[in-house]
Amino acid sequence: MANAEIGVIGGSGFYSFLEDVSEIQVDTPYGPPSDSLYLGELAGRSVAFLPRHGRSHTVPPHRINYRANLWALRSVGVRQVLGPCAVGGLRPEYGPGTLLVPDQLVDRTQSRVQTFFDGVPLPDGSVPNVVHTTFADPYCPVGRSVAVAAARGRDWEPVDGGTMVVVEGPRFSTRAESRWYASAGWSVIGMTGHPEAILARELGLCYTSMALVTDLDAGAETGEGVSHTEVLKVFGENVGRLREVLFDAVAALPATGTRDCLCTHALDGWDLGIELP
């Protein structure tokens, strides 16, 4: 199996940024990931890229096989993951073009499997034990610092911290829902940040979200509401800038063997019952 140390799970409109890549298919105990993995080199680092929705955006948020995606990345050696994504702003000051590096999330999804450790036997006969993973701080503090510094280095002042609320999708929010989320003090809203973050934590991976605001959510604007066309348009206008920040973040992430953050100790003391890849 080919090796990569850093994984990038790309969101809408962000499916290609490596050149001279090798495409590999990875089997997992949880079925196939969203697409092939694309392995290449970026800024002197070995990187595996995975299109979150499939290369042709055919997998909606609620049907993404999040467990297979994270398992596949770890199986090729990935230990740090960057997760750029498109989100809606829940505050007027977080308008289109804002880059937010969240430090908290709220789960409002409904039907997604969000653990590897559910006591259900795997195809090889092994049985994962039930594990209750610490998740008070859902994002890697080191990765967050790197992402914020990378954005500032490109003259793009990010919002350092904030709460991402993750909804089931694929529909956008009603105005009432959007106002409710904003009244709780949450910052942005997306559809894919959970269970991506907790599954990364369960595998001992460092996970950092980089949230590009493409629109004001329904309760924060006075127009006709969010449209998918609008989201893609704004993402396309900012994808080059986000790519540069992502490149710099990849280059600045610590060497795999030097990691000693909370992510690396998430499963300390637990009998997992299964062997991780």
What residues are labeled active site?
Answer: 215, 217
Lookup: tokens for 274? 């299964």
Question: Would you list which residues are annotated within the binding site for phosphate?
Answer: 12, 52-53, 192
Two tokens at 253? 């992430």
Locus of tokens 């297979």: 68
Q: Read off the amino acid at residue 159.
A: V
Query: Residues within the annotated binding site?
Result: 12, 52-53, 191-192, 215-217
